[in-house]
């Protein structure tokens, strides 16, 4: 699975601590903007995630946390 982080908001610039916590917890909940009652749970475990694509205007907040 490929995770595209930042399509709706600049998660890397504004929410890096939250994003790192989601990776530690191993999942994230995503609400559908067109159907607010539909919430999808995505597992973020290494055996399921092949790649994470970050889309941001400022990568500085997350760079110290990447290997």
pLDDT of residue 8: 80
Q: What is the mean pLDDT of the chain?
A: 92
pTM attached to this predicted model: 0.81
Model pLDDT for residues 11-37, shown as the tens digit of each residue: 999 999 999 999 999 999 999 989 999
Question: How far lies 43's CA from each of 2, 33, 36, in Å?
Answer: 11, 20, 20
Average pLDDT of span 44-50: 94
Phi, psi of 30 (to 5 degrees): -125, 125
Say which DSSP state 64 is in.
G
């Amino acid at each position: 699975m490929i995770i595209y982080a930042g399509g709706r908001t600049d998660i890397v610039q504004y929410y890096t601590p939250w994003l790192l916590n989601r990776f530690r917890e191993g999942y994230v909940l995503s609400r559908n903007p067109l159907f607010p009652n539909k919430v999808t749970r995505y597992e973020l475990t290494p055996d399921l995630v092949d790649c994470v694509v970050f889309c941001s205007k400022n990568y500085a907040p997350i760079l110290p946390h990447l290997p």
